[in-house]
Structure 1
Amino acid sequence: MTVEEALQMLKDNGFKYTGKREEIIRICAEQKRYLSAKDILELMKEEYPTLSFDTVYRNLSTFVQLGILEETELDGEGKYRLACSRHGHHHHHVICTVCGRTSSLPDCPMNIMSHLPDDFQVTGHKFEVYGTCKECSTV
């Protein structure tokens, strides 16, 4: 997803444009990795010195609900990244636990799950692989 697509999604869903919202989206687009609300706040402090953690967190939550950002949990903390696609195609990631970089996996492990109970209907699932990327493992 591009920054422009994300901003259009905000507009299409009745949310007002603000420089802070655009900056959060731009940071997520440029970083190409999972970031905590604290990381994003720190990156915005120079331009927005009075910005609060609550403002950042509320916007992140809104962006996740709209499908603009993807969310995961690492070390007990929510982390966010720009969604890979505006259309939210189904996919999973490998995530570096050191730097937060991600790569998409080509297949879904649910495709090989054949031992689900007959009376159970899957309505969703989450699958992520955690480890260390090449750059972080050589440090």
Structure 2
Amino acid sequence: MMKVEEALQILKEKGYKYTGKREKLIRICAAERRYLSAKDIMERIKDDYPNLSFDTVYRNISTFVDLGILEETELDGEGKYRLACSADGHHHHHVICTECGKTSSLPGCPMNIMSSIPEDFQVTGHKFEVYGTCSDCASVPSHS
């Protein structure tokens, strides 16, 4: 996983001002090995910055996604965010628990076995995620 210092360095290199709020937001995501919603992040930052608006938090999250500091996925129709894996560019995908949001890396990439993409089509990116229930959540009886 990317280190907080790497994330702050990316901010600096891209010309974004360092602020305590931005560092705190990154540290919140770094402390979790799972995806968090913007609301989750807001809940965790409001103790330190009670006057911070949701718009400001969300704008910073969007900026961090654009800069590659945060990774984004969608669970239950809601955007979820986590600290990007690393700045070393090692390409991989994730399995994601739909209950707790925990993630783990998958070895390999399904693009390597894709033969049906037209030769004249230039791929500029792709996304592959596997959703399910982790062993911790699967062992908890359902309350539905």
Q: Secondary structure at the match of 2:51?
A: coil
User: Which residue of structure 1 lines up, in the alignment, with residue 138 of structure 2?
Assistant: 137
User: Which residue of structure 1 lines up, in the alignment, with residue 31 of structure 2?
Assistant: 30
Q: Secondary structure at the match of 2:5?
A: helix
User: Which residue of structure 2 lines up, in the alignment, with residue 124 of structure 1?
Assistant: 125
Tell me, in whole angstroms, the C-alpha distance in 2 between the residues paired with 1:61 and 1:22: 15
Report deviation, 1:43. 0.8
Tell me, in whole angstroms, the C-alpha distance in 2 between the residues paired with 1:118 and 1:49: 53
User: Which residue of structure 2 lines up, in the alignment, with residue 95 of structure 1?
Assistant: 96
Query: Which amino acid is the alignment partner of residue 10 of structure 1?
Result: L
Report deviation, 1:41. 0.2
Report deviation, 1:6. 0.6
User: Which residue of structure 2 lines up, in the alignment, with residue 53 of structure 1?
Assistant: 54
User: Which residue of structure 1 lines up, in the alignment, with residue 82 of structure 2?
Assistant: 81
Could you give the per-residue CA deviations for residues 49-89 of structure 1, whole angstroms, max 9, x where no partner exists?
Answer: 11111111100111111111111111111111001111332
Residues 67, 88 of structure 1: 8 Å contact kept = no
Query: Which amino acid is the alignment partner of residue 45 of structure 1?
Result: K
Tell me, in whole angstroms, the C-alpha distance in 2 between the residues paired with 1:15 and 1:4: 14
User: Which residue of structure 2 lines up, in the alignment, with residue 70 of structure 1?
Assistant: 71
Provide structure 2 residue ranges, at least 5 long, that are not aligned to the other structure.
none
User: Which residue of structure 2 lines up, in the alignment, with residue 4 of structure 1?
Assistant: 5
Report deviation, 1:96. 0.5
The CA RMSD over aligned residues, in Å, is 1.0
Tell me, in whole angstroms, the C-alpha distance in 2 between the residues paired with 1:7 and 1:30: 15
Query: Which amino acid is the alignment partner of residue 112 of structure 2?
Result: N
Provide structure 1 residue ranges, at least 5 long, that are not aligned to the other structure.
none
